[in-house]
Amino acid sequence: MTKDLKIGDKAPAFAMPTDSDGKISLKNLKGQTVVLYFYPKDLTPGCTKQAIAFSKHIKAFDKAGAVVIGTSKDPVNRHDKFKEKHSLSIILASDEDSHVSEDYGVWVEKNMYGRKFMGVERSTFLIDAAGVIHQIWRKVKVNGHAEEVLTAVQAL
């Protein structure tokens, strides 16, 4: 069942393992702005381009008080390889069981070449310091997206 989150909704709680044997949870980020973006798969062209774009602007996100978390179903060891190969400076969280993707309504039926399958819809959620969803981007196109999100963060 897909959740239909809207701007102004309380962001669903999450706790996930991250690259470098870390852990991250919304509860521990209370009081900070959170950019939670979902992407299909590590080491693929679009996902790599997106992660590099967010990493390129990490200092500006930090200055604006925002934590950037890229989330996919990939296991932590794959995130570590992804980060190392592309010198990524963002946090990569692992949602192997799809619970967080389901809670955010991004685990959806996809259709490619006539074949239907379940997968992650490339989406980004901007969560304010109070834990409320401030902005939602669905079916994200990678080009210019990190910059658009940064502009929204800076406007908070």
Catalytic residues: 47
Axis-axis angle for helices 76-86, 45-56 (nearest 10)? 70
**Tokens of residue 89, six digits:** 């400076």
* Whole-number Å distance between alpha carbons of 101 and 82: 20
DSSP state string for 66-119: EEEEEEESS-HHHHHHHHHHHT--SEEEE-TT-HHHHHTT-EEEEEETTEEEEE
